[in-house]
Chain A
């Protein structure tokens, strides 16, 4: 297709915390300069910056991309912020990818940041404007409704139990115990802990949900000829895909994320992945809620419909299984600073595929990994496939 190969050559991130002392700009700077240091680059080497952050409402700052730009290293550079809700963290590296694949730039820095704690009393309320102002908001909805209803439809359609789904939270939070940046890692958490946590909006309970967090992540992308000069272990972006479904979410099949399927098919085609269940060695599906990881694995064609929970019960999804899922700990374990959480998954694949993930390292020298995020009004899927 005449597109150039693009590699990830460096990555950095801050801790994910419930409330950071650092501002959005400061968090962004910390992650960005760590990513630069990791591949021995400076801002002089960076030709353009792609920035991702979720709704301006969290920060109470209009044009938040421009506001944070000094922390993101954007001064006097081509700079663009992308925003597709929760899908942003995996869309912003796609934006960086086409900056380079097109031949426009050779080296691009991709940064994603979220500072959710500024919103009072709780960032949940900043999401309320995703509901239609005329047909839905007069019902006084809260954000949990939409997830609770989708989860219920998913469970009921396939006859799944709460315990089937809670396995996801257990495993991700246990994995996160080995992530130095994690907010909710817990090596000893049990199924009972999840099932006995406070019921917020049945079937959603407290531990089914990822935490509000502050944090930032950055990666450096380079064209092939530059990447090979910088490192012996470039990790290639082999396929990208994104797709949108209707904003009329009550006119949609809530049990199956068709938009994730189409995004995945676009990425698999580009990457030449014919049999994803055999060829994808690590999957980092988006997991802001435990059922969402399952929902997404099915959309990604990594499990049959209604069968993703079996990957957890039969051990396939574990760190030493055939297809480890969210070895990072995911959003449920590491935390969910929206845009940064998606990019954390890209950073995780970078470290895993290079064999640098420390205690979380997946054995067997994995070849291909997949990261996925999802957002807007539960309607956008973004997918990146990486390999070495």
Chain B
């Protein structure tokens, strides 16, 4: 059928058509303001971050330790058994060197988001955070890293209580 049809519908416009006023349009801004309560599992995680500890939770049925902690094990579909304090060190599972901000502005010094497998959690269980104090070109998957915390008095119970993770030397 595509072979039989010569002309397909769809009229293409360019950004210039807007700028030149060639077409009519209605511009508006939506207002979305929320206050998300943190809940039980993540609430415990954030309260723990305020004390300088990364918290996970353990399911005694599948014996997994997950991070961030939650109240239900989705694999076993039963309540998690306990919260477990984890180390503030880990291994870079993956990372990116990002030259575009969240609102699509170009930057020259890349942001370095990473997934960091946290020591004490089950294999491949990590969190997303940033890397810092590192030459972007030197970042490698498998690199060992440690959390750099805000000073205790400035922590608010937020993932940003960890400023970033930085590489560590180990024997």
Say yes or no: A200 contacts B98, CB within 8 Å. Answer: yes
Q: Does chain B have a CB within 8 A of A351?
A: yes
Q: Does chain B have a CB within 8 A of A354?
A: yes
Contacts of B129 on A, CB cut-off 8 Å?
139
Question: Is chain B's binding surface mostly helix, strand, loop or mixed?
Answer: loop
The one of A17, A141, A201, A354 in contact with B10, judged by C-beta atoms closer than 8 angstroms, is A17
Say yes or no: B101 contacts A142, CB within 8 Å. Answer: yes
Say yes or no: A201 contacts B2, CB within 8 Å. Answer: no
Say yes or no: B159 contacts A139, CB within 8 Å. Answer: yes
Q: Does chain B have a CB within 8 A of A121?
A: yes
The one of B94, B104, B126 in contact with A150, judged by C-beta atoms closer than 8 angstroms, is B94
Q: Does chain A have a CB within 8 A of B59?
A: no
Q: How far is the CB of B65 from chain A (nearest CB, A)?
A: 10
Measured CB to CB, the nearest residue on chain B to A215 is B10
The one of A11, A139, A180, A251 in contact with B160, judged by C-beta atoms closer than 8 angstroms, is A139
Q: Does chain B have a CB within 8 A of A15?
A: yes
Question: Is chain A's binding surface mostly helix, strand, loop or mixed?
Answer: mixed
Which interface residue of A10, A20, A145, A148 has the most chain B CB atoms within 10 A?
Answer: A145
**Also in contact, A201 and B74, with CB within 8 A (given A20-B11, A125-B104):** no
Say yes or no: B98 contacts A142, CB within 8 Å. Answer: yes
Measured CB to CB, the nearest residue on chain B to A147 is B96
User: How many residues belonging to B are interface residues under a CB distance threshold of 8 Å?
Assistant: 55
Say yes or no: B110 contacts A152, CB within 8 Å. Answer: no
Interface-located stretch among B30-38, B80-88, B146-154: B30-38
**Also in contact, A141 and B141, with CB within 8 A (given A11-B1, A14-B10, A254-B93):** no
Contacts of B97 on A, CB cut-off 8 Å?
199, 201-202
The one of B13, B114, B125 in contact with A20, judged by C-beta atoms closer than 8 angstroms, is B13
Q: Does chain A have a CB within 8 A of B124?
A: yes
Contacts of B94 on A, CB cut-off 8 Å?
149-150, 152-153, 156, 254
B53-92 CB mask vs A (1 if < 8 Å, else 0) is: 0000000000000111010001000000000000000000
Docked complex: B92-127 residues within 8 A CB-CB of A: 93-104, 110, 113-115, 124-127
The one of A14, A18, A124, A136 in contact with B104, judged by C-beta atoms closer than 8 angstroms, is A124
**Also in contact, A134 and B3, with CB within 8 A (given A20-B13, A153-B141, A202-B96):** no
Measured CB to CB, the nearest residue on chain B to A140 is B102
Q: Does chain A have a CB within 8 A of B47?
A: no
Contacts of A180 on B, CB cut-off 8 Å?
2, 5, 8
Q: How far is the CB of B135 from chain A (nearest CB, A)?
A: 14
The one of B36, B96, B160 in contact with A203, judged by C-beta atoms closer than 8 angstroms, is B96
**Also in contact, A152 and B95, with CB within 8 A (given A251-B125, A356-B4):** yes
Say yes or no: B12 contacts A125, CB within 8 Å. Answer: no
Measured CB to CB, the nearest residue on chain B to A154 is B94
Which interface residue of B95, B128, B160 has the most chain A CB atoms within 10 A?
Answer: B128
Say yes or no: A20 contacts B12, CB within 8 Å. Answer: yes
Q: Does chain B have a CB within 8 A of A188?
A: no
Contacts of A181 on B, CB cut-off 8 Å?
8, 10
Contacts of A20 on B, CB cut-off 8 Å?
10-13
Measured CB to CB, the nearest residue on chain B to A347 is B2
**Also in contact, A354 and B1, with CB within 8 A (given A19-B13, A22-B11):** yes
Q: Does chain B have a CB within 8 A of A135?
A: yes
Say yes or no: A200 contacts B99, CB within 8 Å. Answer: yes
C-alpha spacing A309/B29, complex, angstroms: 44
Contacts of A121 on B, CB cut-off 8 Å?
103-104
The one of A27, A134, A148, A350 in contact with B46, judged by C-beta atoms closer than 8 angstroms, is A134
C-alpha spacing A21/B14, complex, angstroms: 9
Q: How far is the CB of B26 from chain A (nearest CB, A)?
A: 10
Chain A to chain B contacts (Cβ below 8 Å), 21 pairs: A15-B12, A20-B13, A27-B9, A30-B9, A122-B104, A134-B36, A134-B38, A135-B42, A139-B129, A142-B101, A144-B100, A148-B113, A149-B96, A149-B114, A152-B95, A201-B96, A201-B98, A202-B96, A248-B70, A250-B127, A356-B2
Sample of 9 further A-B pairs with CB below 8 A, known A19-B12, A135-B159, A181-B10: A22-B11, A125-B102, A134-B159, A139-B130, A140-B102, A142-B102, A153-B141, A201-B97, A358-B2
List chain B positions with a Cβ less than 8 A from chain A: 1-5, 8-15, 23, 27-28, 30, 34, 36, 38, 42, 45-46, 66-68, 70, 74, 93-104, 110, 113-115, 124-130, 141, 158-160
List chain A positions with a Cβ less than 8 A from chain B: 10-11, 13-22, 27, 30-31, 34, 38, 60, 120-122, 124-125, 128, 133-136, 138-142, 144-145, 148-150, 152-153, 156, 179-181, 199-204, 214-215, 246, 248, 250-254, 350-351, 354, 356-361
Interface pairs A-B: 9 shortest CB-CB: A15-B10, A358-B3, A148-B96, A153-B94, A30-B9, A14-B10, A17-B12, A21-B11, A201-B98
